[in-house]
């Protein structure tokens, strides 16, 4: 845990625990919401067949990104998650989204 705290620039175990809680809530919530997003878009296993699961996974990605920052904000960790989000998207080649 010490290496992780150093890598993320975290000083306390409480902050690390809060960050882990935010990751857990965000992952579960984005998976749950993706089901409703698919329903809203009219995407079902019946009309998509084997493509349904990959489509749902693709839908989870933007939902997760938005929720990560919002839930991080609710838990008082906006700065950490905003920085984390920018690093992650830059590593995926989407850094242009943050250029002014």
76-89 pLDDT tens trace: 999 999 999 888 88
Q: Does residue 79 belong to any structural domain of this protein? A: yes
Give me the DSSP letters along 43-94. Answer: --HHHHGGGHHHHHHHHHHHHHHHHHHHHHHHTT-HHHHHHHHHHHHHHTT-
Length of the chain: 100
What's the domain range around 76?
Answer: 2-86
Residue 15 has pLDDT above 80, yes or no: yes
Q: Does residue 99 belong to any structural domain of this protein? A: no
Q: Does residue 98 belong to any structural domain of this protein? A: no
Where does the pLDDT of residue 98 fall: very low under 50, low under 70, confident under 90, or very high at 90 and above? low
Where does the pLDDT of residue 22 fall: very low under 50, low under 70, confident under 90, or very high at 90 and above? very high
Q: Does residue 69 belong to any structural domain of this protein? A: yes
Q: Which residues contact 15 (CB under 8 A, 6 or more apart)?
A: 77, 80
Report which secondary-structure segment, H or E, holds 6.
helix 2-8
Number of domains in the chain: 1
Exposure string (b/e) for 42-73, b if CB count within 10 Å is 16 or more?
Answer: ebeeeeeeeeeeeebeebbeebbbebbbebbe
Q: Does residue 91 belong to any structural domain of this protein? A: no
pTM of the model: 0.81
């Amino acid at each position: 845990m010490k290496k992780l705290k150093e890598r993320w620039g975290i000083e306390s175990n409480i902050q690390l625990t809060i960050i882990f809680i935010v990751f857990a809530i965000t992952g579960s919530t984005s998976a749950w919401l993706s089901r409703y997003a698919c329903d809203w878009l009219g995407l079902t296993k019946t009309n998509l067949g084997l493509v349904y699961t990959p489509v749902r996974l693709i839908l989870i990605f933007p939902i997760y990104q938005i929720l990560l920052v919002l839930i991080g904000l609710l838990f008082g960790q906006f700065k950490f998650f905003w920085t984390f989000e920018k690093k992650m998207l830059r590593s995926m080649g989407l850094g242009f989204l943050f250029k002014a």
